[in-house]
Structure 1
Amino acid sequence: MRYIIIGAGAVGGTIGGRLAESGHDVVLVARGAHLEALRRDGLRLISPHGAVTVPITAVGGPEELDLRDGDVLVLAVKTQDTAAILAAWAPRPVTGGGAAGEVLPLVCAQNAVENERMALRLFRHVYGMCVWLPALHLEPGTVVSHGAPLSGMLTLGRYPGGTDETAERIAAGLRDSMFAAPVEPDVMRWKYAKLLGNLGNAHQAICGRVPGSEPLMERLQAEGRAVLDAAGIPYTSPEEERRTRGDQVDETAVGGVDRPGGSSWQSLAKGSGSIEADYLNGEIVLLGRLHGVPTPANETVRRVAAEFAREHRPPGSMSMPTLLKLVEEEAAAHR
């Protein structure tokens, strides 16, 4: 198998770097200064185990690559970028016949639950991956992996359900490369549970990691559970997740430095102009509107996070009391 990692940021860079380090054939797809650094110097991967520089092939897009039978496409971009990426890769010809969307497996190594559904419109063989992988990417050419003793847990399965030989082979490669990689026939049950955990990404981006965030997080997740229950969508329990992960992966300081924030915090820190909140908190808002369940906390943090991204406001620049006040105002408006 050749792994083509589309999106070589914190998650994609860690997955691709570990696979390449263990001898697998890997191509990283990146852009801008990050792509230039990867081509010039390779990938610098820093972790609790030390720092390594991994020589690796890097390209800017599908037009720079001859796809072939046996390739695995691993999508590791933010959800707001998925549609454009799928449209660029699906029609690409594969040596031996057919287009990528018809013959190659596509793994959605992403947060949120919309990616697989978008992918299935254009790709016949879609796999969901529930990603628990604490990592950081702010500097071109460099990814910091905060997971130890393993770098992450990557739960994999076919979408919309089931498992197959391809999933098992991908998982085996990941297990060879410092990842836990369970194969589950209902991977979306794991991804919906991860969605509940990711509901805090936006408020962390807005306010930073500050004391006093627990009540808001509890409220966001209570709304999330209420809408999933109303929609009849199953999700794993925290106990099941802890049993499966065990002590295989813990978030660990690297060089004495903790990770300052998750993926949404990093989007604001890099000034990317977009944020994933529409597909995290926004998924709860959507389901709430479909099933008549009020979701004022998720609507507020979704809206404010989107404003922060559009206006290029720095992460952590709103106080938690201010955000909580906006939540209460939103709740009062819907009473």
Structure 2
Amino acid sequence: MRILVVGAGGIGGYYGGRLLEAGRDVTFLVRPARARKMRSSGLMIASASGSVELPSTPVVTAAELKSGGTFDLVVATCKAYDLPGAMDDFAPAVGPGSLVLPLLNGMRHLEALDARFGANAVLGGLCLISTRLEDGGRIAHLSDVHRLTFGARSPAQGDAVRRVAAAFEGARFEPVVAPDVTLAMWEKWVFLAALAGITCLMRASIGDIARAGGTGHVLAMLDECRAIAEAHGRAPSESFLAMSRGRLTDPDSALVASMLADLERGGPTEADHILGDLLLRGRAVGLSAPLLEAALVAINAQANRAARAAD
């Protein structure tokens, strides 16, 4: 299977690097500056699960991809706000039999990908991992969790999922074929929206919020997110909710959403894709989510302030 990984940051670089390490036919689609760096120094992963240096790393830019033929699988790992440009970049790699596996958060990206490439070509997917792309280009894997969950969004995609599973088998991460990948994506969305919403609203970690007496606010925000998912026929399981409540109320936790780091450094965030889209889906079925809405207002207000300061 010929695999194109869109992006070589913390997510794409890690999973693509693990597939390359396992001998798979992997090429990275990256921007010109990143391509020059990778062509000179390759790809490095530092991980408790096994570090690896990959000096010969196949890379391609968008301009070069236009004459490179199509791929069997395109793994999209960009941020949601970069997806429109990324689709333009990797479109030449998608042929009649190609599959697209997005690892973005939320659900709205599926609509854009379906419209561009056809729903039959687009699988469902998500990942559970903590990584950091360091200044020198090395990818630091920050925990022992590196799960990549994927699956069919329709029965017609069953054979395609089995082909992807075979390609992932033996690579040094945890591939999981979900029997209901759409539910798995909704569950992650619920957790992530609650985490991002509360840590960005409070500008603090989960532990700091819990120790300040904010546990009730955290659980209320989680329940707002759960109610929206349930109203759309994707009720999170009780075991998932129990896990989420435990992680989101742990007074010893240093957990924060990456969205908070994006916000604090004045960069773009996925707030509209993660929080805004969930709010819109709630309103569409008559549900209000005041804490989630307050979090989105706080994020947008801070972004407006940063934009004025930059001017």
TM-score for the superposition, normalised by structure 2: 0.81
CA, structure 1 residues 168+217, in 2 after alignment: closer, same or farther (shift >3 Å)?
farther
CA, structure 1 residues 17+291, in 2 after alignment: closer, same or farther (shift >3 Å)?
same
CA contact (8 A) 2:14 2:139 kept: yes
Residues 1:17 and 2:17 are matched in the alignment: yes
Query: Match of 1:40?
Result: 40
CA, structure 1 residues 162+155, in 2 after alignment: closer, same or farther (shift >3 Å)?
farther
Query: Match of 1:211?
Result: 208
Match of 1:189, SS state, is: helix
Code of the residue aligned with 1:211 in structure 2: it is D
Query: Match of 2:51?
Result: 51
Deviations along 1:302-322, whole A, 9 cap, x unmatched?
A: 232234445559xxxxxxxxx
Distance 2:226 2:113 in 1: 25
CA, structure 1 residues 225+260, in 2 after alignment: closer, same or farther (shift >3 Å)?
closer
Query: Match of 1:192?
Result: 186
Distance 1:310 1:8 in 2: 30
How big is the shift at 1:47? Answer: 1.0
Query: Match of 1:137?
Result: 133
How big is the shift at 1:85? Answer: 1.7
CA, structure 1 residues 300+32, in 2 after alignment: closer, same or farther (shift >3 Å)?
farther
Deviations along 1:106-162, whole A, 9 cap, x unmatched?
A: 0011111111221111113101112112222242522111242xx522121123566
Q: Which moved more, 1:132-141 or 1:110-119?
A: 132-141
Query: Match of 1:275?
Result: 269
Structure in which a larger fraction of residues adopt helix: 2
CA contact (8 A) 1:112 1:191 kept: yes
Distance 1:141 1:190 in 2: 31
CA, structure 1 residues 237+114, in 2 after alignment: closer, same or farther (shift >3 Å)?
farther
User: Within 5 Å, which residues of 2 pair with 1:176-191?
Assistant: 176-191=170-185
Query: Match of 1:326?
Result: none
How big is the shift at 1:219? Answer: 2.0
CA contact (8 A) 2:71 2:95 kept: no
| Structure 2 spans left out of the alignment, 5+ residues | 244-252
Deviations along 1:151-203, whole A, 9 cap, x unmatched?
A: 52212112356642221222233231122222234211100000011111244
Code of the residue aligned with 2:51 in structure 1: it is A
CA contact (8 A) 2:192 2:257 kept: no
Report % sequence identity. 24
CA, structure 1 residues 81+216, in 2 after alignment: closer, same or farther (shift >3 Å)?
farther
CA, structure 1 residues 23+295, in 2 after alignment: closer, same or farther (shift >3 Å)?
same
Match of 2:208, SS state, is: coil
Code of the residue aligned with 2:268 in structure 1: it is S
Distance 2:23 2:128 in 1: 23
CA contact (8 A) 1:35 1:141 kept: no
Residues 1:126 and 2:122 are matched in the alignment: yes
Query: Match of 1:238?
Result: 239
Code of the residue aligned with 1:120 in structure 2: it is D
Code of the residue aligned with 2:37 in structure 1: it is A
Code of the residue aligned with 1:188 in structure 2: it is T
Q: Which moved more, 1:287-296 or 1:199-208?
A: 199-208
Match of 2:123, SS state, is: strand
Residues 1:175 and 2:169 are matched in the alignment: yes
Residues 1:286 and 2:280 are matched in the alignment: yes
Deviations along 1:31-72, whole A, 9 cap, x unmatched?
A: 365443222211121111453222312233254364445531
| Structure 1 spans left out of the alignment, 5+ residues | 95-99, 243-257, 314-335
User: Within 5 Å, which residues of 2 pair with 1:145-160?
Assistant: 145-148=141-144, 151-160=145-154
Distance 1:241 1:6 in 2: 34
Query: Match of 2:248?
Result: none
Question: What root-mean-square deviation, in Å, do the aligned CA atoms of Structure 1 and Structure 2 show?
Answer: 2.9
CA, structure 1 residues 174+299, in 2 after alignment: closer, same or farther (shift >3 Å)?
same
TM-score for the superposition, normalised by structure 1: 0.75
Equivalences, count: 288
CA, structure 1 residues 64+130, in 2 after alignment: closer, same or farther (shift >3 Å)?
closer
CA contact (8 A) 2:65 2:90 kept: no
How big is the shift at 1:234? Answer: 3.9
CA contact (8 A) 2:70 2:95 kept: no
How big is the shift at 1:215? Answer: 3.4
Distance 1:131 1:205 in 2: 22
How big is the shift at 1:239? Answer: 4.5
Code of the residue aligned with 1:31 in structure 2: it is R
